């Protein structure tokens, strides 16, 4: 299960994205996509940006495993991009992005929900082992940190166990 309550806040941001507003990280980089404002239950795939998928300029396959992304660095052209995320692990995973790159903000060992929301972080909600789930976004040029903050049974996040990568948009 994802840590904290910033994901429900992101549902509001996704609602803005659906209406045509893009998330802005404050440094001129934007990303937009669309998806349901509902939060999927653990193990349930909730695709993002399905209405954009047919028009995608590029589709990128990414595997989610304990506790890594493969590939760890993804390079794409700016525009409409579909991420075909396959959970090859045994735990739930999610695919989240932080515009501007850099470290995911952490306070007291947990992701800083307010800072993530302010930075315009967006995500494909957690989904179960053996599933493939798609997310399609309009991406502006720049660097994005790719991460997963699903918690393990002992309360550690996948991020703290090394589940982080980089998305480079040219």
What are the extents of the domains in the chain?
Answer: 6-169
The Cα 65–Cα 162 span in angstroms is 11
Nearest to 82 by CA among 56, 63, 62: 56
Q: Give Rg (Cα) of the chain.
A: 14
Does the pLDDT at position 56 exceed 70? Answer: yes
Tens of pLDDT, residue by residue over 130-149, are: 999 999 999 999 999 999 99
The Cα 25–Cα 14 span in angstroms is 15
Does the pLDDT at position 4 exceed 60? Answer: no
Alpha carbon of 78 to those of 32, 58, 140: distances in Å? 12, 9, 5
The Cα 170–Cα 138 span in angstroms is 13
| CATH no., domain 6-169 | 2.60.40.420
This prediction's pTM:
0.76
What average pLDDT does range 78-89 have in this prediction? 98
- The pLDDT value recorded for residue 19 is 29
Q: In which region does residue 44 sit, left (phi positive, over 0), alpha (psi from -120 to 50) or beta (all else)?
A: beta
Q: Which one has a higher pLDDT value, 48 or 36? A: 48
Q: Which one has a higher pLDDT value, 155 or 165? A: 165
Does the pLDDT at position 161 exceed 80? Answer: yes
CB neighbourhood size of 19 (10 A): 8
- The pLDDT value recorded for residue 13 is 36
Tens of pLDDT, residue by residue over 13-24, are: 333 333 232 333
The Cα 135–Cα 48 span in angstroms is 4
Burial of 54 (0-12, 13-18, 19+ CB in 10 A): exposed
The confidence band for 43, taking pLDDT boundaries of 50, 70 and 90, is confident
Tokens 């399905």 found at: 50
């Amino acid at each position: 299960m994802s840590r904290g309550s910033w994901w429900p806040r992101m549902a509001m941001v996704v609602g803005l994205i659906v209406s045509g507003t893009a998330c802005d990280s404050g440094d001129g980089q934007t990303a937009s996509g669309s998806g349901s404002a509902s939060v999927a239950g653990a193990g349930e795939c909730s695709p993002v940006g399905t209405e954009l998928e047919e028009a995608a300029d590029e589709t990128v396959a990414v595997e989610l495993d304990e506790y890594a992304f493969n590939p760890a660095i993804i390079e794409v052209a700016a525009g409409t991009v579909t991420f075909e995320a396959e959970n090859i692990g045994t735990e739930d995973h999610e695919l989240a992005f932080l515009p501007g790159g850099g470290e995911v903000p952490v306070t007291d060992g947990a992701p800083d929900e307010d800072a993530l929301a302010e930075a315009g972080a967006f995500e494909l909600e957690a989904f179960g082992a053996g599933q493939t789930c798609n997310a399609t976004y309009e991406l502006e040029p720049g660097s994005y940190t790719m991460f997963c903050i699903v918690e393990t049974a002992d309360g550690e996040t996948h991020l703290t166990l090394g589940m982080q990568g980089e998305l480079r948009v040219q």
